[in-house]
Amino acid sequence: MTPRKIALVTGASRGIGLAVAKQLAKDGFDIWLNYHSNHQAAQKAKTEIESFGAKVTLLPFDVADKDAVHAALNPLLEKDTPYALVNNAGIRRDNLLVFMQDEDWTKVIGTILGGFHNVTKTVLAAMIRAKGGRIVNIASTAAHAPVPGQTNYSAAKAGIVGATRSLALEVAKRNILVNAVSPGFIETEMLEGLPMDKIMPLIPLHRLGKPQEVADMVSFLCSDKASYITGQAFQVNGGVAM
C-alpha cells in the first residue's frame, strides 16, 4: 500500500486553513496542522479531519517565532518530509496608515511574511533533498486591488506574491512547484469589521466566497493535474479584481 503523503498547513484550525486541511485529507494527505493557541478549535479540527481517514499531527506554534517553528518542525523533519506546504497563517490589524500603531504594522508583516519565511525555509531543505513538492501560499485580493486601511496587510500579501514567483524560479529544477492563491472576500472571521455594505456592490458575482472554493484551488495545485504550473498567483474572488 502506497503511504499517504504529508501536507503541512499553517493557521489551519479554522477558516480557509481548516477547509484546506479537510480537502487535502480527502485527497489522501496526512495533515500536519499548525495553529497558534486555540487548542479547543484545533482539537475539533483534528477530529473532523481524521474522519476522512487522515492522520493528524497538531503543531501549536507562532509562525512569526523562528525558534518555535524550528522546535516544532525539526524533530518531525528528521523522519518525514511534507510533499505539500500551505502557508495560510495570517492576521489583520486595520487602520489608516497615518493612525496605524507601529506594533500593528510589524505584527502583520511578521506573521504573514515572516511566517512564510520561517516555515518555508525550515521545510525547504527537506523538500529539495526529496526532489519534489508543492508550496502554496495564501495571498489575498488585497495584494492586487487597494483596500483603504490595509497598507500593512496589502504590503504583506503583495510580498507573498512576489516571494512566490522568486522562490518558484529557485526550486523549479528540483521539481518543487510554488504558487499563490489570492482569496477575495471569503466567509470567515477575517471579514469582521469590514464595511460589507460598501464591499458587496464591488463583487461582480454579488456574493461572498466560501472557504471550500479556496480549498478546491489549493487542492488542484497540490495535485498531479497541476504538474506544469509554477510561479503563478490565482485569484479566487468572484471577479472583484480582474
Catalytic entry in 35, 83, 153, 228: 153
CA 139 to chain centre: 7
Rounded Cα distance, 219 and 217, in Å: 5
Of 13, 5, 65, residue with least CA distance to 34: 13
Do the beta carbons of residue 87 and residue 119 sit within 8 Å? yes
Establish whether 83 is a catalytic residue. Answer: no
Crossing angle, helix 15-26 and helix 211-221, to 10 degrees? 50
Of 87, 88, 82, residue with least CA distance to 55: 82
Catalytic residue positions, numbered: 153
